Amino acid sequence: MKHKRVKSPVVRVVVFVFFVVVIALVAVRLNKESEMRIRVENRAKELEIEASEASAEYAEAVEMSRKVGTDDYIEEVARESLGMVMPGETVFEPNEK
């Protein structure tokens, strides 16, 4: 003797609602993870740019540290910042009107 299971409409509705809720929760979770992934990727790009800028500044600082203290640098600073000239040099200034 076989027994047929008769599912009541209420049970079917409850099961259907359960699966809809589960699917909705999964969709919300996937959306949040997608947003988080986008934020992480954007921050990674920002950090990459900052690292590149820091690397360029470091290279510039290394170059400046090599240059500082040399006779050429001291002469450059004396001429440009202090307006000094070497003995025997004549300075010509343009007439400004």
Render pLDDT for 31-83 as a digit per residue (tens, 0 to 9): 999 999 999 999 999 999 999 999 999 999 999 999 888 988 888 888 888 88
User: Side chain identity at 34, as an amino acid letter?
Assistant: S
Residue 1 has pLDDT above 60, yes or no: no
Q: What percent of the chain has pLDDT over 70?
A: 92
pTM: 0.52
At residue 6, the pLDDT reads: 59
Domain residue extents for the chain? 14-80
| Mean pLDDT for the stretch of residues 24-30 | 97
Task: Yes or no: say if 23 and 30 are a contact pair by the CB < 8 Å rule.
Answer: no
CA distance 63 to 77: 16
Chain mean pLDDT for the chain: 89
